[in-house]
Amino acid sequence: MIGRLLVANRGEIARRVFRTCRELGIETVAVFTDADASAPHAAEADQAVRLGAPLAYLDPERIVEAARRSGADAVHPGYGFLSENAGFARAVLDAGLTWIGPSPEAVAAMGKKIEAKALMAEAGVPVLPTIPLSPDAPTQMTETQLTAPVLVKASAGGGGRGMRVVRDPADLAEAVESARREALSAFGDGTLFAEPLLEGARHIEVQILADAHGTVWALGERECSIQRRHQKVIEEAPSPAVTPELRRELSEATIRAARAIGYQGAGTVEFLLSDEGFFFLEMNTRLQVEHPVTECVYGVDLVRLQIEVAEGAQLAALPPSPVGHAIEARLYAEDSGGRPQSGVLHRFEIPGVDGEFGLGARLRLDSGVVSGTEIGVHYDPMLAKVVSYGRDRAEAARRLADALARARIHGLTTNRDLLVGVLRHPDFLSGALDTGFLDRHRTAAPLAGPEAVRLSALAAALAGAAANRAAARRHGVLGGLPSGWRNVPSQPQRAAFGTDDGGRLEVAYRLTRDGLRAEGFEDVTLVAAEPGRVVLETAGLRRTFEVAVYPGTGPGTGAGMVHVDSPLGPVRLTPVERLPEPAARVTPGALPAPMPGTVLRVEVKPGDLVEAGQPVVVLEAMKMEHLIVSPASGTVAALHVTPGAQVEAGLPLAVIEPTPPRAPDGGPHTEGAGTEPGTATDAVAGAETGAVAGAETGPGPDAGRGEHPGAEGRPETSPETGAPPETDTDGQPGTATGPQPGLGAGVPSGTEAGADPGTSGGPEIGREIGGEIGGEAMRP
């Protein structure tokens, strides 16, 4: 019997395993690095062992040593990191510890996709044709073989890394080179192959559980087709497309796959489902991020069953029967273009949760963060998984969308709007899904429309005035007078806010004996105003606006951000100081770093002529490659970085001097006829009215996204068109859209393994960055 268990992982999966261990009376051991020493998982365990550097989660020797030092007698790998590392599994067993997972031989058998597909074909599991790509002849495929699009894939690992769609033979060489470089970086193995691209297919996976006594359960399928750049975003069980007969066929194929390699423990067999049938993608020899939806529908604790199987227990002859429907949404700290975000998560509250990591909940929260957690740049940016359970699919979707829409998420930009948009989309509700869903549908429109933002700004101004009055009362300074009181009224009180789309709102109001008088809000009545709560009535409709103010972090800063939550949707505002500190002047044509990171490559040199969209610098941040591209044709006037340099967000990387536009007659452009991008005039206009817009594309991963350090293998690429981290699918992407001007395609560059594919698309970089200062893109 296991007495003390170490979880070789972090975040929500570590907390998830700890919950089951507490129920079983098993002591727990956490591991942590210097980058997440204050993380919730490290505080919740009975013991915690420091590993050191951020990537130490990938060091088998350190993990085994931590188990020895803590007196653990078992190791659970979680998902991502080392969970599918056969060498790690052997090291744990060689140390005399119990390994909560399949045998090292089973892990190794499924670790290389080329060999795994051959094994599955022998076992009678349908597979797609494999087209080898030799390192010595990477472009050996002929135009005949490329009559239809193909998907280049890494044989090792997953999560969308080392994966490229090729539609034109002329693009093959570049795609292979890029995929091989990415695969080597992520998995240490650049072996590639290609297979036909099934567009319009669904990503379906089947949960298995097997014991050492010959019993194998197939616990139904999960639908994982809602993906963004090969990363899973929303998963559900059962699939709305799977009939009882198809479910039987999928289950039989899955059981054959498990028996073919003598599998024991929990795992997942993934398939592509199209009009032509279903085809094996890969087998994930671990628990997956989306396992909660199976737990909800089948009423089982998969972690408990993993532990019991490792202790030698025998499963019942038949698995339980499914009841109801469950949907999971992955909440990520990322912007509308998919770029990971870092910073402090000031507030994190999901209303209606009746079970944290709990079974039997109608609304379940599996989270690696709490209010106040700082999200760094070293690990996957998944904050939490929110899971709803209902009698049917419609009930589960409505409950989940409502909970996410009402959530209080302050401090960081997240994909919450995207998730709610998908869950409420008619095509999603009708079950019309495939891996290209997010390429076809723009679902990330802000929950709060323009009028909601205006009313939220008014509420923020009134709450600020109420806070000032409260402070005056505490200090005995004319606290009884109304805000903005003057002996002879003249000018209204004013407050200005910046909005997330780069705009600016100014609120002008006066509080009189007759009530609120606000310019542009003639039909708005103030019902109540407190520092954190304002009630407004508009056209007979009364609404409450909850206002939270968070201080800035820079010297001399006032309020850094204001979050306003109301039935109209969440709004984030940035107070504009009446007397701002002098701002540093931005060099015209400067290309700023969009986030902290490391310079991987510099693609140009001073004096080079560049075209709009041409790569200038490749930046690695959050284990993803971000292409910083030229926003316009011009000359490289300056380079401020070299490979290996660490940069902070906003630091100029290079300066591009735009080519002067030509007059209509071909003569030189006359001075004064236009304003050059990046000038002071443009900077002001951009700050007040510009917006950084991102085109939506689809996600989807696993290790759940899961194999990244720190969070399930979500693929790591950037928002523009890359694939984010974490996913455990090899799922074929739907339609792929190339990078937009100012953007490239994202490419994971981490060392973790595992994640899911989905769709590839590229958001556009908005005016302030892409048009006037520079563009950031992801490598395809």
Q: Which residues contact 310 (CB under 8 A, 6 or more apart)?
A: 2, 74, 98, 99, 100, 101, 265
In 57-106, DSSP assigns E strands to 74-76, 98-99
Half-sphere exposure (Cβ direction) of 25: Cα atoms closer than 13 Å: 1
Name which of 604, 643, 605, 652 is nearest 625 in CA terms: 643
- Separation of CA 320 from chain center: 33
pLDDT value at position 174?
86
What pTM was estimated for this model as a whole?
A: 0.81
Confidence class for position 367, pLDDT limits 50, 70, 90: very high
Buried b (16+ CB within 10 A) or exposed e, 39-51: bbbbeebebbbeb
Is 80 exceeded by the pLDDT of residue 70? Answer: yes
CA distance to 121, 245, 257, 309, 580, per residue, from 319 (Å): 26, 18, 18, 14, 65
pLDDT value at position 665?
55
Name which of 282, 284, 274 is nearest 241 in CA terms: 274
Confidence class for position 760, pLDDT limits 50, 70, 90: very low
Name which of 398, 333, 410 is nearest 363 in CA terms: 398
Cα torsion angle, 471, 474, 480, 485, sign: negative
Q: Tell which wins on pLDDT, 73 or 175.
A: 73
Question: What does pLDDT average to over the chain?
Answer: 83
Exposed / middle / buried, residue 246 (Cβ in 10 Å: 0-12, 13-18, 19+): middle
Confidence class for position 689, pLDDT limits 50, 70, 90: very low
Is 50 exceeded by the pLDDT of residue 741? Answer: no
Confidence class for position 179, pLDDT limits 50, 70, 90: confident
pLDDT value at position 478?
63
Half-sphere exposure (Cβ direction) of 97: Cα atoms closer than 13 Å: 29
Is 50 exceeded by the pLDDT of residue 238? Answer: yes
pLDDT value at position 739?
37
Q: Name the most confidently modeled range: 125-139, 534-548, 637-651.
A: 534-548
Exposed / middle / buried, residue 358 (Cβ in 10 Å: 0-12, 13-18, 19+): middle
Half-sphere exposure (Cβ direction) of 739: Cα atoms closer than 13 Å: 30
pLDDT value at position 586?
59
Strand-pairing partners, residue 495, are 507
Half-sphere exposure (Cβ direction) of 289: Cα atoms closer than 13 Å: 47
3-state secondary structure 150-197: EEEEECECCCCCCCEEECCHHHHHHHHHHHHHHHHHHHCCCCEEEEEC
Single-letter amino acid, residue 16: R
Confidence class for position 462, pLDDT limits 50, 70, 90: very high
Cα torsion angle, 260, 266, 272, 275, sign: positive
- Determine the average pLDDT of the residues in 673-702: 36
For 327, the token pair is: 């949907």
Strands 74-76 and 98-99 come out as parallel
Is 70 exceeded by the pLDDT of residue 722? Answer: no
pLDDT tens column, 465-489: 999 888 888 877 665 666 665 665 6
